[in-house]
Structure 1
Amino acid sequence: MNIVSDLAEGRRILAEAIGAAKRLVLFTGAGVSTESGIPDFRSPGGLWSRMRPITFQDFVASEAARLEDWRRRFHLMAEFEAAIPNAGHRAMARLVGSGKAIALITQNIDGLHERSGVPEDRLIRLHGTGTHASCLDCHERMEIAEAEAAIAATGQSPRCPACGGLIKCAVVSFGQAMPEAEMTRAEAASRAADLFVAAGSSLQVHPAAGLPVAARRAGARLLIVNRDETALDSLADRVLRGPIGRLFDPSDDAGRDGAP
């Protein structure tokens, strides 16, 4: 493992590795979006330090848990809508759009990769999305604003107008099964990569954290780009420490005081 904390050196290493790659796979976690003002979950002051997560089993079993989950979702949705894709999001979107990256695998639910221009066929959402909801039974889609209006009108959690099933925000909650199709796509992309770049993730959450391992075992180079130490630093070819947007996009220095 080689930890690089110098911004200029980190940029050089990342640019050279991406330039040489034929099958680049990008993997992102919450640290990519903190630079857009969206708090992460695990850090001190993050969401989970302030409130206990609501499990999938609690959501299904309890109306009180459903209403509390929805209250939190509406708050998060307001944060997502106010946020703007940052330099890291935009740089990754360019890599996907140019064909350099064969896939972008994300743990994020905020919709910022989509808004930055990453096409649907190259985006793999491991943990779903917080930008809409769906029925747990028939999978009918419902917009978050519709769910909010339904709760305001009835005082009860929303039900599917098509089948009467429970409507839930389309995120993967604790205790809920991972989406099989997305995991299959992510595993295939990871094994196909010759360069796997993990950015903004603590790499602690499984099975997602197994993807960099699978890529490495299949022969890919592994770069980890993160502000803090991760669970897989010892496995990486290089670990680049620093602001993700500025490492991916030197133009993000514009207007920053004291930027190198």
Structure 2
Amino acid sequence: MTVRIVIADDQDVVRAGFGALLDTQPDLSVVGSAADGAAAVGVCRETRPDVVLMDVRMPVLDGIEATRRIIAGTGAGPGGGPRIVMLTTFDLDEYVYDALAAGASGFLLKDMTAERLFEAVRVVAAGEALLAPTVTRRLIGEFVRLRPHTAEPSPLALLTPRETEVLRLIAEGLSNAEIAARLTVSAETVKTHVSRVLAKLGARDRAQAVMLAYEFGLVVPRSAGGTGSGARRSPW
């Protein structure tokens, strides 16, 4: 099954370069591109891609607002709208949290290798959350700083002990296959657990579920600027 991709970036060389690389892969196909956020919204409406590579900083409409509009108009994930991966030149970009809160499924630096780009698109298309390690640390630190506590009832109380364990492993950055190996269960069983976790939490995807895990104290970072409790994201 071919993954359909839209590239949104205000730099011609980035759009052309990423497009040429992605089109070398038989299972990946670039179906559209845009030079600003407003155009990206329109292109996604027309082409209905599976994945959008979205620059954060663009003219007319920035990538965060474009992401928000795409998600609001189409939903996200299978049967809905595209998965959106934010692209940035800065590993300490101040918009990381806002981008994920807007509905992005991941965040990557533009200096990644070609192989990591390919794998990133495939991972997100398959429904996994994608966070670069330095970006993960930034996200957790900002989350702790901005939302140290919440008075709302914790939705984590709705989870069974096994579902809670699965969420904790998701927050550590493990894929379904890695969780299956850790718990000595089948990948299909893990997939079922993940689906139930997302449904009970009302989470759009794994990225939002991880945010809830930190917000309600299931996973506690070692420090506001450090990695979380086992916060690992492979391979980047």
TM over 0.5: no
Name the structure with the higher helix share.
2
Q: Give the structure-1-normalised TM-score.
A: 0.24
Please tell me whether Structure 1 or Structure 2 has the larger radius of gyration of its CA atoms. Answer: 1
The answer to which structure, 1 or 2, has the higher relative contact order (CA under 8 A, 6+ apart) is: 1
Whose strand fraction is larger, Structure 1's or Structure 2's?
A: 1
